């Protein structure tokens, strides 16, 4: 493995360019707006998967609560959009005009104080990132400083995902309950439900994803990335070398949370609603499997893995709804038992050698993802 002197090797640059071409040229050219919007939705999950590659693949921290951060980011954005959609004129038929419809249905007569700041767009943009990161920071601080890791961390993050779901569903009047926050219309007066808006949002989403990938690549190639790998493999030795292991873990966990939050906000914008079914345990574990299928050590693999699993999910559950859960279960077991490095691992061991032979020997740099 070359040291972190160069940010992208030539081969990696090619891989990044291929992914960018797929997202920005192939998909928009080959799909109608409905399918494209669907793939845009899948790509929002890819944000979470890329964050998980950093946390889990590199840092060895398996979080089963990434749905929490995805959901918090999405809810922050949804609250802003909902307030914009609930003008006194638009909600004149309610007994209290000017508050979101689900609050009116639950006999609330005034907007709760903590909803007030979400009238402001700049505040919302900050909150989309800041709220989930703050959550992640508190969780990380409490857990990693006490050297809780591995299995226990997974179980506790899972419990947190369960708690947040119960809370959101239970507090209907403040959160929209099990239906979530629905019927979102405009962003700063711009209708997000039109086809042209969907195109624009798709490209914004793709651009943000590329930014996240570059950030992840930067972390991978930096000294931080190597400390993460060292921590994953021999935590005590890193600690004895004088590094504060907990701080690195907290940082990478927060970074993963921030990426998930951006994904959540883009999800709300593209799909037009946010509900607790994207927060709980089941979606959180599914997000882990996206990452595992792509290859837990490959940030680009995570994107392909997400696309593949979601595409398969949609196709399968349209054609054979019965079989989908069997296939998904088999996927979990198969990925863990047979292909622990996922698609990227398969690519590296079977496809990459041919590709290398095809291209001249000069272009063959290091592989897409280092094997373990």
Contacting positions for another protein (CB under 8 A):
62, 64, 142-143, 146-148, 150-152, 154-156, 158-160, 162-163, 166-167, 169-170, 281-282, 285, 288-289, 292, 322, 325-326, 328-333, 335-337, 340
As measured in angstroms, the least distance from the Cβ of 22 to another protein is 27
What length is written for the chain? 372
Q: Is 177 left (phi over 0), alpha (psi -120 to 50) or beta?
A: left
Nearer to another protein, 94 or 314 (CB): 314
Q: What is the DSSP letter of 149?
A: -
Nearer to another protein, 133 or 154 (CB): 154
Write b or e for each residue in 216-225: b if 16 or more Cβ atoms lie within 10 A of its Cβ, otherwise e.
Answer: bbebbbeebb
Write b or e for each residue in 323-332: b if 16 or more Cβ atoms lie within 10 A of its Cβ, otherwise e.
Answer: ebeebbeebb
* Other Cβ atoms within 10 Å of 253 Cβ, number: 27
Q: Six-digit token pair at 289?
A: 């499997």
As measured in angstroms, the least distance from the Cβ of 171 to another protein is 8
The residue assigned the tokens 């504060």 is 244
As measured in angstroms, the least distance from the Cβ of 322 to another protein is 6
Nearer to another protein, 156 or 197 (CB): 156
Distance of alpha carbon 290 from the chain centroid: 10
Nearer to another protein, 162 or 230 (CB): 162
Count of alpha carbons within 13 angstroms of residue 130, beta-carbon side: 6
Query: Rounded to the nearest 5 degrees, what angle is found at the Cα of 217, between the Cα atoms of 214 and 220?
Result: 155
Nearer to another protein, 89 or 322 (CB): 322
As measured in angstroms, the least distance from the Cβ of 330 to another protein is 7
In angstroms, how far apart are the furthest CA atoms of the chain? Answer: 73
Nearer to another protein, 227 or 289 (CB): 289
As measured in angstroms, the least distance from the Cβ of 58 to another protein is 14
Nearest CA to 293 among 261, 333, 260?
333
Nearer to another protein, 206 or 276 (CB): 276
As measured in angstroms, the least distance from the Cβ of 132 to another protein is 17
As measured in angstroms, the least distance from the Cβ of 208 to another protein is 28
């Amino acid at each position: 493995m070359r040291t972190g002197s160069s940010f992208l090797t030539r081969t990696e640059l090619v891989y990044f360019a291929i992914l960018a071409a797929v997202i920005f040229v192939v998909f928009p050219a080959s799909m109608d707006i409905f399918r494209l919007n669907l793939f845009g939705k899948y790509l929002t999950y890819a944000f979470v998967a890329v964050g998980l590659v950093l946390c889990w693949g590199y840092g060895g921290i398996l979080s089963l609560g990434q749905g929490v951060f995805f959901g918090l980011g999405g809810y922050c954005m949804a609250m802003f959009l909902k307030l914009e959609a609930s003008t006194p004129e638009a909600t004149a038929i309610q007994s209290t005009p000017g508050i979101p419809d689900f609050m009116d249905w639950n006999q609330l007569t005034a907007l709760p104080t903590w909803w007030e700041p979400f009238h402001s767009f700049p505040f919302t943009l900050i909150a989309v990132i800041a709220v989930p990161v703050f959550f992640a920071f508190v969780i990380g601080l409490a857990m990693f400083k006490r050297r809780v890791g591995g299995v226990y961390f997974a179980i506790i993050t899972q419990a947190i995902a369960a708690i947040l779901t119960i809370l959101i569903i239970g507090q209907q009047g403040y959160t929209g309950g099990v239906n979530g926050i629905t019927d979102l219309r405009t962003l700063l007066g711009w209708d997000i439900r039109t086809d042209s808006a969907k195109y624009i949002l798709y490209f914004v989403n793709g651009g943000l994803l590329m930014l996240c990938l570059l950030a992840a690549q930067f972390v991978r190639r930096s000294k931080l990335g190597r400390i993460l790998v060292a921590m994953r493999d021999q935590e005590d030795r890193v600690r004895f070398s004088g590094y504060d292991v907990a701080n690195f873990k907290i940082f990478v966990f927060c970074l993963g949370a921030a990426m998930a939050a951006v994904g959540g906000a883009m999800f709300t914008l593209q799909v037009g609603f946010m509900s607790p079914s994207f927060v709980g345990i089941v979606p959180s574990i599914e997000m882990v499997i996206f990452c595992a299928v792509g290859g837990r050590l490959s940030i680009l693999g995570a994107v392909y893995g997400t696309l593949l699993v979601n595409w398969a999910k949609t196709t399968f559950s349209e054609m054979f709804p019965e079989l989908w859960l069997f296939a998904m279960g088999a996927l979990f077991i198969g990925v863990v038992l047979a292909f622990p490095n996922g698609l990227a691992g398969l690519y590296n061991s079977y496809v990459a050698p041919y590709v290398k032979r095809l291209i001249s020997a000069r272009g063959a740099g290091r592989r897409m993802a280092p094997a373990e």
